[in-house]
Chains A and B, each alone.
Chain A
Amino acid sequence: MSKNAPLLEVRHVHQIYGSGDRQFAALQDINLSINEGEFVTLVGPSGCGKSTLLRIITGLQQPTQGQILYRGTPLRGVNPHATIVFQTFALFPWLTVQQNVEVALKARGIGREERSQRAVSLLDKVGLDGFETAYPRELSGGMRQKVGFARAMSVEPELLCLDEPFSALDVLSAEALRGELLELWTSGSIPTRAVLMVTHNIEEAVFLADRIIVMEKEPGRIIADMPVGLPHPRQHKSAQFTAMVDRVYATLAGQTQPEHLELGVAPGEPGTTRSLPHITINDLAGFLEYLDEAPNNRADIYRLEQELKVDTDHLLRLTQAAEMLGFATVSQGDITLSALGETFAEASILARKEIFATRLRRLPMFRWFLTMLRAANQNRLDWKVVQTALELEFPPEEAERQLEIIANWGRYAEILVYDDSNGVFYLESAAEPAKAMTA
């Protein structure tokens, strides 16, 4: 299908938020081209900027630096040849199904008769005939997204962008809709020249795409560009398919780095501070217990997703946390429990807390936080003070989330106390009365 003429080129795109000391690269030096006839997916953990990149590519957002070339011409404003299918459908709830499609055509100045004709025939094509006068709220998620597709197709886009279009749907509707999309695309019955899809579901990416672009966060960047050389229709159970999924997982999760890179540095020191993965201790403990039961204390990360019924993103965060705390090691798309992880999984509640506390004290983020707390007057620190300090490393929202994780983990390990009513952190030893109350 490929004609090898780049339809779209992304050149040295940077997206930087904040200014001065508080600068964060949401995207760093992104280079990428999409050819006619290609179905490309962007995968990566949340926060890697894949959705931002999609918005920059369609012209909804201006990059801080760099440019987008569409058919060789620099893009200014919203790309008239591109369209988006949104994760949350973005249908107007007060318009009927048909009106929702028609409004896109009306905006292009198409007359009443033709508009309604085209809308009806498109709705027919996606299997929604009979639902023209229904309101979106009367439809199931899968049907709503069909309206989203019909609306996107109605403007006959050359570049169809999909922003996690199936992630808000239940498993069965997502499966069905994926198949229908693939059929529309491979049969060539739509004028679309290329598809760009953002997803965090790796299996979905392998099922649909000709090329998978893997992104990593902090800063958001491309770490791999992997062609998927499998013919359609693809079989989920086939050996080649699972091998491909494993390879993508391995790329995403298996980047074992030297310790100083793996753990990052404390906030304020030169180098990157690695953020703490956003997970709860409960989930982590459950995860480790599961691995403890598994043969050889080892599991294929890709299979875990189905067995644990968690999404890719969550699974990656759990893996990252287990690795960061030394409870597990990752290689070749497999995760193996370490001796420490085994001990933790089998320990009593109190023993778990102790193990957890010793591991936390090793993390640069906690070392930094505890040093600050010890140095503070009365071993007390205000939430706002810490957040301001963290904002030098992370965007404000992320800084807040990091602090929530610190509070959550630190409370569990009983190395610190956080009093929610006045927003103050205490060192565990400095908070006897508070401890007596929680005990």
Chain B
Amino acid sequence: MAESRQLFTIGQPMHRPFTLGDVAIFIGVGTVLYIGVRLAFNAPDVVKGPTILLTPRALPWYAVLSVVRMGAAYALSLLFSLVYGYTAAYNRNAERVLMPLLDILQSVPILSFLPVVVLSLTAILPQGVALELAAIVLIFTSQAWNMTFAWYQSLTTIPNELREATSIFRLNRWLRFKTLELPFGMISLIWNSMMSWAGGWFFLMASEIFTVGSRDYRLPGLGSYLKAAADEGDIQAILMGLVTLLFVIIGLDQLVWRPLLAWSDRFKLESVAGQDAPGSWFYDVVRDARVVAWLREHMIGPIAEAIDARTLAAPPTRRAQSQGESSRHWVSGVVELGSGLVLFYGAFRIMEVLTTITVAQWVGILGGLAATLLRVATALLIALAWTIPVGVSIGTRGRLAAVLQPLVQIFASVPATALFPILLFGLLKLPGGLNLAAILLMLLGTQWYLLFNVIAGASAIPQDLKYTSALLQLGALERWRTLILPALFPYIITGAITAGGAWNASIVAEYVTFGGQTLSTVGIGSRIAHATASGDYALLLAATLAMITAVVSINRVFWRRLYRLAEDRYRME
């Protein structure tokens, strides 16, 4: 279970809370947002999407469409991760910009990006293409970051002697990638891919259908089906949609992820006794199939050989040293100057837009931030309150953990956004209903990762410490205080940091249309959603930037510090 920690990848520890580079990156992100907003002005005024059919017959086709969309986004994410992580890991200069940039990018509230992305794309592309592209880009932004971090981290933690072995035996770049880098990062890439798919479902639900003013954008798919069903208040259709979704998620888990995990077991650096290899019936079936053996012998083998031979035939690139240096200096100077000018222009424009925001609006944004912070904190506390006891009782019983772990993983994949309509249906009648529903949505989004981590942490408590505390006859309270909580601390922190996604969820949770009516509550998410719906781009920009600042600050000032404390003091190894 040790590898389950790799599921949760966190940016590399930063020693200073904020640097000048962060400011530059912040302005850069703002500039991109601003350009999007400018483009968005040119989008067509009225858009009417296709009708979403609510008959069960439409569901299989919708499911296929959604999976293909997810697949396209995932392929894009994988490519992006490999290239971005590789560049950051091997180019010291690039690393200094790329890693902080990634850190901020993962704090950007993706959902507030969506309208900007869609509107700016429809301004330059045909509507159908623009919509598909926008959905894919949105899902991509929910999948790419953690995979990139994971890949970067595995590249930078390759043992030195293995790396030296590839140099001394003169493996070229391709062979090095194939025999060292990819296998070394494989397990972590697969776990993070699973996590990315889970995150992707969350945003797929939101990206297939939404409205901006009088523009109604929709793409046929599972997400839009659920949303349309919710708008109609058609409970039966909602349930049908959910079952289909669950079916797809379990299918992917059994046919894709489990087999991949079972296969990737060979990439473990060291096998530790007592750790069960992940099993998969589908993998066993495929591995033993004749066809596969034949393919490996006659197709995959020769093709791989041909590719290897091809890369070896290419003349080894001699690095031109002294000459290249000076011209590179020159180029990087121009690049720096250019990006400086762009940033300066961006900062100017952003300021221009932000000055149109009235003091009252700023106060509203700050109030919204406070309200949402309260909600996020409440959701986190509730999650902690139930996941710690439950996680510990599962994690300390090895058998139970082995049975429940896969189930928890599947539950974690069910997007909270899909369950949301049902929650609304039940809760809206209660006083403070939307508030409750919003917290519940955040809770749904965060609790599984926490539970996952607590289970992993509890099962990692060394047996001799458990014996010691039994021999010392520590009372239950004392045992929790001296053994269990300190041992769980690093795991809880990792889980809680990942739970930062709750901020993102606030955009769909605090402002909803259900059964034909629009409801909202105070919060930064509802500010953003409201600004989107009414086409108030200045407010959208201001609120989005405020949210980024808040999330990044909380991460840097609060979580990072706790994380480092946990790493320093409570790590069991």
Kindly provide the distance from the CB of A259 to the nearest chain B CB, expressed in whole angstroms.
39
- Tell me the nearest residue of chain B to A104, going by C-beta: B169
**Docked complex: A100-134 residues within 8 A CB-CB of B:** 103-104, 106-109, 112
**Closest Cβ–Cβ distance, residue A99 to chain B (whole Å):** 9
Chain B 298-315, CB-CB to A under 8 Å as 1, else 0, gives: 000000010011001100
B contacts with A: majority SS = helix
A79 smallest CB distance to B (angstroms): 9
A84: interface (CB < 8 Å): yes
Answer yes or no: B267 CB below 8 A from chain A CBs. yes
B159 contacts A88, CB within 8 Å? yes
Q: Are A60 and B179 touching (Cβ within 8 A)?
A: no
What residue of chain B has the Cβ atom nearest to residue A99's Cβ?
Answer: B179
Residues of B within 8 A of A135 (CB): 266
Whether B170 and A93, one on each chain, are in contact in the complex, defined by CB atoms closer than 8 angstroms, is no
Minimum CB–CB distance for A109 against chain B, Å: 5
Cβ of A137 and Cβ of B164 under 8 Å apart? no
Pairwise interchain contact B169-A83, C-beta atoms closer than 8 A: yes
A94, B267: Cβ atoms under 8 Å?
yes
Interface size on A, residues (CB 8 A): 28
A387 at the interface (CB under 8 A from B): no
A103 vs B176: C-alpha distance in the bound complex, in angstroms? Answer: 10
A155-B169 contact, Cβ under 8 Å, with A92-B180, A93-B270, A107-B175: yes
Given A78-B170, A137-B271, residue A106 in contact with residue B175 (CB < 8 A): yes
Interface contact A112-B175, CB-CB below 8 Å: no
Query: Is A151's beta carbon under 8 Å from chain B?
Result: yes
A94 and B168 contact, CB distance less than 8 A: no
State whether A106 and B183 are in contact (beta carbons under 8 Å apart), knowing that A55-B164, A60-B167 are contacts in the complex. no
Task: Report which of B159, B164, B170, B270 forms a contact with A80, defined as CB distance below 8 A.
Answer: B170
Distance, CA A125 to CA B162, complexed state (A):
24
Inter-subunit contact B170/A107 (CB<8 Å)? yes
Contact (Cβ within 8 A) A86 B270: no
Query: Please, how many angstroms separate the alpha-carbon atoms of A90 and B267 in the complex?
Result: 14
Scoring A residues 12 to 28 as 1 if CB is less than 8 Å from chain B, else 0, what string do you get? 00000000000000000
Contacting residues, chain A, for B171 (C-beta < 8 A): 103, 107
**C-alpha gap A326/B317 in the complex (Å):** 59
In the complex, how many angstroms separate the beta carbon of B287 from the nearest chain A beta carbon? 16
CA distance A258 to B307 in the complex (A): 65
Q: Which residues of B contact A137 (CB under 8 A)?
A: 270-271
B residues near A112, Cβ cutoff 8 Å:
305
Contact flags A44-61 to B (C-beta < 8 A → 1, else 0)? 000000000001001010
Q: Are B179 and A92 in contact (CB under 8 A)?
A: yes
Contact with A along B145-189 (1 / 0, CB 8 A): 000000000000001011011011111100100011001000000
Query: Chain B contacts of A337 at CB under 8 A?
Result: none
Given A88-B161, A90-B162, A137-B271, check contact A95 B179 (CB 8 Å).
yes
A94 touches B172 (CB 8 A): no
Name the residue in A80, A84, A87, A103 with the highest tally of chain B Cβ atoms < 10 Å from its Cβ.
A103
Please tell me which one of the listed residues A89, A94, A107, A109 contacts residue B169 in the complex, with CB atoms under 8 A apart.
Answer: A107
Complex CA gap A87/B161 in Å reads 8
Cβ contact within 8 Å between A82 and B168:
yes
**Structural contact, B183 and A86, CB atoms closer than 8 A:** no
Contacts of B266 in A (CB 8 A): 94, 135
Q: How far in angstroms is the closest Cβ of chain A from B64?
A: 35
User: With A92-B162, A92-B180, A94-B266 in contact, do A84 and B271 touch (Cβ < 8 Å)?
Assistant: no
Knowing A88-B159, A109-B312 touch, does A151 contact B169 (C-beta < 8 A)? yes
Collect the chain A residues with CB atoms within 8 Å of residue B308's CB: 106
| A299 vs B161: C-alpha distance when bound (angstroms) | 38
Q: Nearest-CB distance from A74 to chain B (Å)?
A: 14
Q: Is B170's CB under 8 angstroms from A90's CB?
A: no
Chain B 219-269 interface residues, beta-carbon cutoff 8 Å to A: 266-269
Q: Which residues of A contact B162 (CB under 8 A)?
A: 90, 92
The smallest beta-carbon distance between B316 and chain A, in angstroms, is 10
Complex contacts, A95 vs chain B, CB 8 Å: 179
Q: Contact between A107 and B167 (Cβ–Cβ < 8 Å)?
A: no
Return B347 CB to nearest CB of chain A, in Å.
34
Cβ contacts under 8 Å, A93 to chain B: 267-270
Min Cβ gap A242→B in Å is 34
- Taking a contact as CB atoms under 8 Å apart, the answer to whether B161 and A94 are in contact is no
Taking a contact as CB atoms under 8 Å apart, the answer to whether A84 and B179 are in contact is no
Q: How far is the CA of A58 from the CA of B305 in the complex (A)?
A: 29
With a CB–CB cut-off of 8 A, which chain A residues contact B268? 93
Q: List the B side residues contacting A83 at CB < 8 Å.
A: 168-169
Q: How far apart are the CA atoms of A420 and B81 in the complex, in Å?
A: 39
Q: How far is the CA of A92 from the CA of B158 in the complex (A)?
A: 11
A95 to B312, CA, bound (A): 20
Contact at B167–A78, with CB atoms within 8 Å? yes
In the complex, the answer to whether A94 meets B170 with C-beta atoms within 8 Å is no
Question: Could you tell me the distance between the alpha carbons of A95 and B313 in the complex, rounded to whole angstroms?
Answer: 23
State which of B164, B172, B271, B305 has its C-beta within 8 Å of the C-beta of A86.
B164
Report A-chain residues with C-beta under 8 Å of the C-beta of B161. Answer: 86-90
Partner of B183, one of A80, A92, A109: A92
Question: Which residues of chain A are within 8 angstroms of B270 by Cβ–Cβ distance?
Answer: 93, 137
CA distance A108 to B169 in the complex (A): 8
Nearest-Cβ distance from residue A307 to partner chain B, whole angstroms: 31
Q: How many angstroms from the CA of A87 to the CA of B175 in the assembled complex?
A: 23
Q: What is the bound-complex CA distance between A349 and B172, given in angstroms?
A: 61
Q: A60-B167, A107-B312 are in contact. List 9 more A-B contacts (CB 8 A).
A: A55-B164, A80-B170, A83-B168, A87-B161, A92-B180, A93-B267, A95-B179, A108-B170, A109-B309
The 8 closest A-B pairs by CB, nearest first: A90-B165, A90-B161, A104-B169, A94-B183, A86-B161, A107-B171, A109-B312, A107-B170
17 A-B residue pairs with Cβ-Cβ distance under 8 Å, sorted by A, are: A55-B164, A78-B168, A82-B168, A86-B164, A89-B161, A90-B161, A90-B162, A90-B165, A94-B266, A94-B267, A103-B175, A107-B175, A109-B309, A112-B305, A137-B270, A137-B271, A151-B169
